[in-house]
Structure 1
Amino acid sequence: MVNTQAQKATKLALFNFKDVSIRTFWITAVSFFMCFFSWFGIVPFMPDVVKDLGLTPDQKWNSIILAVSGTVFARLLIGKLCDKYGPRLCYTFLLILGAIPVILLGLVQTPLQFLICRLFIGFIGASFVITQVHTSLMFAPNVVGTANATSAGWGNLGGGANRLGMPLIAAAVVSFGVAEAEAWRYSMVIAGVICFLMGIVYYFFTQDTPQGNFKDLKASGVKIEKKKDEVGFLAVLKDYRIWILFIVYAASFGIELTVYGTMDDYLQNTFQLERLTAGNVVLSFALMNIFARTLGGFFGDKFGKLKGLRGRVLFLSFILTLQGIMLVTFSLTTSIIVGIVFLILFSLSVQMAEGATFSVVPFINKKAIGSVSGIVGAGGNVGAFLAAFLLKSKSALAEKTAIAASQGLGEEAIKTAQSAASSAAVSQGYFMIGLVVIITGIIALAIKFSQADEKENTTKVTIDSDSELQGLKTIKVKS
């Protein structure tokens, strides 16, 4: 049913469940959480998987790279599909189809099967794009940055919560008599089933826009703002601002993914932390998504209110540059206390940079917001792939050299040398990546908006705010 009186929400009233925008916000955030929970769900069980399937070090690293590679193609495709069919149907099918490789991962018997499943599981990482498109369609310009950042941050939380949640699921499974060595398999199957069920919930309890679903709006002759990609996908690709944001998101979310995936070993090798302690530190890093990404979107909106669209870009450049400085400094620290301090500051700044990025994205091309979100979102995974490849190449070479130099000194000496070599190589890698992030922060300043864009944004905020206060069906702006 089409409701022509419905308007975009002008504030993030989290407990106003009567508002379709808020209901959709919660469902899309929970769906995103489950996608990331399942995407990285195998991480806590990797020692068990290596032992069970006999994975080599190269196969283990390749599985990490494949998990982020598949997402690149999925994000590029899903944005265009959102513009055409709407986020509701796209999320429904992504959740249902994405549940299949998650479930199959619990049934694999060979390293090849494991690698294939990790590749296809990466497709559910496209859930981020749909989340950003859906919240952009539900919230007004004055709060869209905060809404996008909060839904994305709480969704990203799933990538850290699995470190606590998956072992709890495994423990519950073991309590029913399942062998401990097989618990990781059942845990993945359970995660996949939950994703499938969320797909059903998404279909029946959300809609594409406050006015209704794309299909119903089209049938009623109602114009769907942002849905019709009038400029064409090729024209979208020609907008240089999209590619700057592509690089920016590679330097923020892509680096967060890589640092998150390599930090356990780095903390153990560099500061001699126990495996459990290192894991808890990384979990704390991920849990900062509860508020850090929201802060990025919030300040993006605030700077937008003060300085217009240019203000959003200025804040993005600042926080991204700060992120790079924090990572460079962290890479040089040898004290665990100082290291934790700068790791916290890096965590805060990188997640704020992600939120700030998607406080800019909705204003690049409002007629193709899905395509723009898909391209920028794919940048995150390209960044993760390149950063992981850099760290793998440096670490693998250093470890092989250390092992060769330590032959004949005993197993303990070889492990110590290998650990030290890996620590030094990854430290150098973090330093190089941090420098690239700083340069990217400066490049972000090249994003420009026309005076017409600035004026339209200001007028749109006024219209949406008046609509919220007065409940008008039609708003006329007098010149």
Structure 2
Amino acid sequence: MSEKLNLLSFKGNMRILHLSWIAFFISFAVWFNHAPLMAALRQNFGLNEQEVGILLILNVALTIPARIVVGMLVDRFGPRRMFTIILISSGLMCFAFALAQNFEQLAVTRFLLGFVGAGFVVGIRMIGEWFPARQTGIAQGIYGGWGNFGSAASAMLLPTLALWFGGANGWRYAIAATGVVAIAYGVVYYRSVTDTPKGSTYFKPKKMGAMEVTSRGDLALYLLMSLPIYGALALLVWKLSPAGLAWFSPATSNILYLGIATVCGYQGWKIYQVNREVLSKPVPELFRYRFRQVAILDLAYLVTFGSELALVSMLPLFYLDEFKLSPVTAGILAGTYPVMNLIARPAGGILSDRIGRRLSLLMLFSGITGSFLLLGQVTQEWPVALVVANTLLCGLFAKGGSGAVFAMVPLIQRRMTGQIAGMAGAYGNVGGLVFLTVLSLVSPQVFFMVIGGTGLVVLVLIALLLAEPRGETAEVLPDGTVQMIKIG
């Protein structure tokens, strides 16, 4: 049973939790600060629908590799420095976006702003350092759920702020304002937190460039699980190539495909270099962990967060087109979906703390599978209230599942929490991209069925292969002695 957290406290680890979820909240507000102002952007720059689509795609493109890279860097340099760097650099990029004079400048700065989406990974390591295993679920759930609300806050506040500034440049001042907040809070965060409680050791990976694994089979699985990330980047290029939105020329597309293949090959070589010793020298049992735990959590987050990204993008038009609602009504009904993060994600963490990580994931993925398969049966004859209720049920299970995934991530291997969180986070973005690509090819009903079917596959994997974290893990202190860390 988890101990209750005093959410009104601003002392000790609760102070770190509040400061960190606010940092994540601001990073998400910055990441999606363009979306509610897209009408003004379209009018000011004379953007067509194709160019609007390009900006939306570019906003998530860099986030996929950034979460992997930031995961490595946070394990090495600590969350205090990394969150500060992300907030300040993204604030400066907000200014660049606000000063853009043409579509090309908008596109480049929007692409670079996708880096701020990696801020999520940093807080996962910070919260993992400050909270014991029995409270990690609720703490990570609050961090993720309340921080995720930053995108909804942008949607609600920035149009009003732009209107208050007034004139054709109101949107510029609104975007710049989020940059000022990000920079100021980056300074506050750096001055207000430490990476660990006083007297605790911040464990770092022995090698940089790739995650450490502890067996031959895990090395092969790690190499296999790296491929979808580069496949998603290739899919992004395809969507911007002549076969999709035609922003890239055939030559540019081919160069980018070659670049992605080269980076994929280099990363595979780096994974081998970091872990080649396991091919000839067994890792002592005390220091082993199962990489399949990481792989299953990656796939689970692909479904939970991937479906969230996809539904946030498609629900307004789904309600508008399928049930002939007004744009305002469709927007309000669709807006109820992301708001559920405030309660559903922490609830998934609480459930994990109280009944176990594996059992909570089994229950939540059963709900994901059933609710999405049911949503796939929707027709225009269904009452709108019933459809909205079913959609919210999907959100309840999916967002709760995200909380349950990250209730387990920090318990696998302390010194690599950032890298594990980064890989899982990247898979969440991969899921959003894949599901939205599916939606562009099929009806919404088939799209919902695909999510439900993917959830069923992950449910089976959890049931057969995922193990409940128990006992202790071992980490080596700087003086060479071994410290045992309780995880369950």
Short-chain TM bin:
0.7 to 0.9
Contact 1:83–1:229 (Cα < 8 Å) also in 2 = no
Name the SS for the 1:67 alignment partner: helix
> Could you tell me which of 320, 325, 330 is aligned with 1:278?
330
Matched, 1:390 2:442: no
Name the SS for the 2:47 alignment partner: coil
> Could you tell me which of 227, 249, 255 is aligned with 2:204?
227
Q: Which runs of 5+ in 2 are unaligned?
A: 214-218, 223-290, 475-482
Matched, 1:358 2:335: no
Name 1:439's counterpart in structure 2: 457
Change (3 A) 1:93 1:324: same
Please tell me the residue identity of whatever aligns with 2:448: Y
Q: Tell me which moved more, 111-120 or 337-346.
A: 111-120
Matched, 1:32 2:9: no
Q: Which runs of 5+ in 1 are unaligned?
A: 1-8, 213-221, 305-311, 395-424, 460-473
Contact 2:472–2:485 (Cα < 8 Å) also in 1 = no
Matched, 1:97 2:97: no
Q: CA deviation at 1:324?
A: 3.0
Contact 2:24–2:119 (Cα < 8 Å) also in 1 = yes
Name 2:317's counterpart in structure 1: 265
Contact 1:54–1:111 (Cα < 8 Å) also in 2 = no
What is the CA deviation profile of residues 350-370 of structure 1, one whole-angstrom value per residue up to 9, with x for unaligned ones?
A: 110000001111122223111
Matched, 1:202 2:189: yes
Name 2:281's counterpart in structure 1: none
Name 1:146's counterpart in structure 2: 138
Please tell me the residue identity of whatever aligns with 2:180: V
Matched, 1:303 2:355: yes
Identical counterparts, % of pairs: 28
Contact 2:472–2:484 (Cα < 8 Å) also in 1 = no
Contact 1:65–1:389 (Cα < 8 Å) also in 2 = no
- In the alignment of these two chains, the number of paired residues is 400
Larger Rg: 1
Q: How does 1:175-186 map to 2 (within 5 A)?
A: 179=167, 181-186=168-173
Q: CA deviation at 1:10?
A: 6.2
Name 1:13's counterpart in structure 2: 6
> Could you tell me which of 422, 429, 435 is aligned with 1:381?
429
> Could you tell me which of 143, 153, 178 is aligned with 1:191?
178
Contact 1:321–1:442 (Cα < 8 Å) also in 2 = no
> Could you tell me which of 235, 246, 256 is aligned with 2:308?
256
Q: CA deviation at 1:96?
A: 0.4
Q: Report the Cα distance in structure 2 between the residues aligned to 1:393 and 1:476, rounded to whole angstroms.
A: 48
Q: CA deviation at 1:229?
A: 4.3
Please tell me the residue identity of whatever aligns with 2:350: F
Change (3 A) 1:426 1:100: farther
Name 2:45's counterpart in structure 1: 53
Q: CA deviation at 1:232?
A: 8.1
Please tell me the residue identity of whatever aligns with 2:349: G
Q: CA deviation at 1:437?
A: 2.2
> Could you tell me which of 58, 67, 90 is aligned with 2:59?
67
Name the SS for the 2:132 alignment partner: coil
Change (3 A) 1:444 1:108: farther
Change (3 A) 1:449 1:332: closer
Q: CA deviation at 1:108?
A: 1.9
Q: Report the Cα distance in structure 1 between the residues aligned to 2:367 and 2:344, rounded to whole angstroms.
A: 14
Name the SS for the 1:260 alignment partner: helix
Please tell me the residue identity of whatever aligns with 2:6: A
Report the TM-score when normalising by structure 1.
0.78
Name 1:84's counterpart in structure 2: 76
Change (3 A) 1:286 1:362: same
Q: Report the Cα distance in structure 2 between the residues aligned to 1:72 and 1:231, rounded to whole angstroms.
A: 19
* Cα-Cα RMSD: 2.6
Change (3 A) 1:476 1:389: closer
What is the CA deviation profile of residues 82-117 of structure 1, one whole-angstrom value per residue up to 9, with x for unaligned ones?
A: 111110000000000111222222222222222222
Contact 1:65–1:388 (Cα < 8 Å) also in 2 = no
Name the SS for the 2:304 alignment partner: helix
Please tell me the residue identity of whatever aligns with 1:254: G
Contact 2:137–2:349 (Cα < 8 Å) also in 1 = yes
Contact 2:80–2:195 (Cα < 8 Å) also in 1 = yes
Q: Report the Cα distance in structure 2 between the residues aligned to 1:231 and 1:193, rounded to whole angstroms.
A: 33
Change (3 A) 1:386 1:13: same
Q: Report the Cα distance in structure 2 between the residues aligned to 1:247 and 1:234, rounded to whole angstroms.
A: 17
Contact 2:358–2:467 (Cα < 8 Å) also in 1 = no
Q: CA deviation at 1:442?
A: 2.1
What is the CA deviation profile of residues 442-475 of structure 1, one whole-angstrom value per residue up to 9, with x for unaligned ones?
A: 222344448xx52228x9xxxxxxxxxxxxxx99
Contact 2:304–2:399 (Cα < 8 Å) also in 1 = yes
Q: Report the Cα distance in structure 2 between the residues aligned to 1:348 and 1:385, rounded to whole angstroms.
A: 21
Name 1:469's counterpart in structure 2: none
Q: Report the Cα distance in structure 2 between the residues aligned to 1:134 and 1:240, rounded to whole angstroms.
A: 24
Name 1:23's counterpart in structure 2: 15
Contact 2:211–2:416 (Cα < 8 Å) also in 1 = no
